[in-house]
Amino acid sequence: MKNKATSLDIAFQAGVSQSTVSRALRNSPLVNPETRQKIQRLAKELKYKVDKNASNLRSQHTGTLALLLFEDPTSDDSMINPFFLSMLGCITRAAAVNGYDLLVSFQQLSEDWHADYEDASKADGLILLGYGDYIDYAEKLNQLKEQETHFVRYGSVEDGQTGVSLGCDNFDGGYVMTKHLIAQGHKSFAFLGGADAHCPEFQARYQGHCKAIVEADLPVNQTMQIDAISTEDSGSDAARTLLSLDERPDAVFCASDMIAVGALTQFHRQGLSVPDDIALAGFDDIPVAHLTSPQLTTMQQNTKLAADRLVESLIKQIHNTPVESALIPAKLIVRESCRKSN
C-alpha cells in the first residue's frame, strides 16, 4: 500500500476543507448535494478508503464484533467441534449483514480473554461461544460485566446468570427426544454425556431426559448416565463403558451428535446393529448426522437463527437497548437410528 490517498488529498482536489470531505463521505445531511457527489466521485477515482484506525480512534468505536471460541482443552487440536464451526460460519455472515466486521479468536491460547478484546479497543462487543467448564468461566463473566463490556453468551440459560445469554432449550430438547424414544416403544435408557454443573447444557438435556422417563413411570437408572465430552473418541469410550455393564438399555441418548457418532462406531465394532439391537439419538444435527448409516435421529439446533439472534442482541446492547436472555427451541429430527427395536 503505497501513497494511500487521505481525506486531505481529496479535499485539495475538490477545493473544499477536509472536514467537508469527512462529512460528505459519511453522507451527512450537512453538506451540499453537489459537493457531496463531487467528493464521492473523487474518492472513488482515488480509491480512497477511510482509515479505520483513525476513525475508530476518534469516534471511540470500532465497527467490529469479536467472537471468542472456547474449546474444550481435551479436544483434538486439529478439529473444531463441527457444531461451533457451523455457528462460526453463520455468525460471520450475520455480522457482515449488519455491517460489522468479525474478529475471530480461539481461547485456549489466552487466559486473559476477558480483558483482551474490548479493552484493547478492538471490538465494540463480544460473542462468547463454546463448551468449556461453566464454573470456571462464570467468574470471568462477572469481570466483563464490571468493566461494562458488551457481550452475549451462547450456552445454558438460567436465572441469576451474569449478562445476557442465548441458548438452546436444552431441557425441553432432552424431554422431547426422550418422549419420542418412549413413543417408539423403548423402555430402558442410557445417557452419554457429562451431567453436572460444569457442563450445564448437557446437564439440562439430561434433566429433560429424566423428566420424560419419570412421567412415563419408567425407572431412571443412574448407572446408565456415563460422562463424555463432545468428541467422537469420548463418545466411543463412553459406549464401550456402557456395553461393559451388566444390562444393556433399549435406547441411548447422547448429549451431542459427536458423542453419538463415536458411540455408533463403537456399537458397530461390537457387532450391534442400530437401531435393531440398540436405538441411538443425538443432539445438534451437525452436518454428518444425516450421512451416518443409519441416519441419526437428533434434536436440531438452528445455527443460523441462533447466530442472527446473537448478533442482533449484541448490537442492541452496543446501542444501549436493553436485551434479555432467551431460549431457542430445538426441533426433533426423526431419521433412522431410533426405530422401535421389536
Partner DNA sequence: CTGAAAGCGCTTACAG
Binding site for DNA (CB under 7 A): 4, 6-8, 15-20, 22-23, 25-26, 29-33, 35, 48, 50-51, 54-55, 57-60
In the complex, minimum distance from the CB of residue 128 to DNA, in angstroms, rounded to a whole number: 25
Asked if residue 230 binds a copy of itself (CB under 8 A), the reply is: no
Q: How many CB atoms lie within 10 A of CB 73?
A: 10
Are 33 and 92 in contact by the 8 Å Cβ rule? The answer is: no
When binding is defined by CB under 8 A, the residue of 126, 261, 278, 281 that contacts a copy of itself is 261
H or E element in which residue 306 lies: helix 303-318
Task: State how far the Cα of 337 lies from the Cα of 292, in Å rounded to an integer.
Answer: 9
The answer for residues whose C-beta is within 8 angstroms of residue 15's C-beta and 6 or more apart is none
When binding is defined by CB under 8 A, the residue of 11, 31, 68, 88 that contacts a copy of itself is 88
Asked if residue 119 binds a copy of itself (CB under 8 A), the reply is: yes
Asked if residue 129 binds a copy of itself (CB under 8 A), the reply is: no
Are 286 and 254 in contact by the 8 Å Cβ rule? The answer is: no
Asked if residue 234 binds a copy of itself (CB under 8 A), the reply is: no
Piece of the chain touching a copy of itself by CB under 8 A; list 8-16, 102-110, 213-221, 243-251:
102-110
Are 161 and 149 in contact by the 8 Å Cβ rule? The answer is: no
Are 279 and 178 in contact by the 8 Å Cβ rule? The answer is: no
The answer for residues whose C-beta is within 8 angstroms of residue 141's C-beta and 6 or more apart is 151, 153, 161, 162, 163
H or E element in which residue 283 lies: strand 279-284
Site for a copy of itself in 7-26 (CB under 8 A): none
Asked if residue 145 binds a copy of itself (CB under 8 A), the reply is: no
Partner interacting with residue 105 (select from a copy of itself, DNA, none; CB below 5-8 Å by kind): a copy of itself
Q: Locate all alpha helices (DSSP H) within 68-199, ordered by sequence.
A: 82-97, 113-119, 134-146, 170-183
Asked if residue 30 binds a copy of itself (CB under 8 A), the reply is: no
Partner interacting with residue 6 (select from DNA, a copy of itself, none; CB below 5-8 Å by kind): DNA
User: Grid coordinates in use for 183?
Assistant: 413413543
Nearer to DNA, 29 or 322 (CB): 29
Q: What DSSP character marks residue 162? A: S
Piece of the chain touching a copy of itself by CB under 8 A; list 22-30, 172-180, 221-229, 290-298:
290-298
Piece of the chain touching a copy of itself by CB under 8 A; list 16-24, 45-53, 277-285, 309-317:
45-53
| Phi, psi angles (nearest 5°) of residue 129 | -140, 140
Nearer to DNA, 56 or 221 (CB): 56
In the complex, minimum distance from the CB of residue 238 to a copy of itself, in angstroms, rounded to a whole number: 17
When binding is defined by CB under 8 A, the residue of 20, 75, 292, 337 that contacts a copy of itself is 292
Asked if residue 293 binds a copy of itself (CB under 8 A), the reply is: yes
In the complex, minimum distance from the CB of residue 113 to DNA, in angstroms, rounded to a whole number: 19
CA dihedral for 183, 187, 193, 195, sign (positive or negative): positive
When binding is defined by CB under 8 A, the residue of 27, 29, 109, 320 that contacts a copy of itself is 109
Q: Computed over its alpha carbons, how large is the radius of gyration of the chain?
A: 25
Nearer to DNA, 19 or 273 (CB): 19
Pairing of strands 125-129, 164-168: unpaired
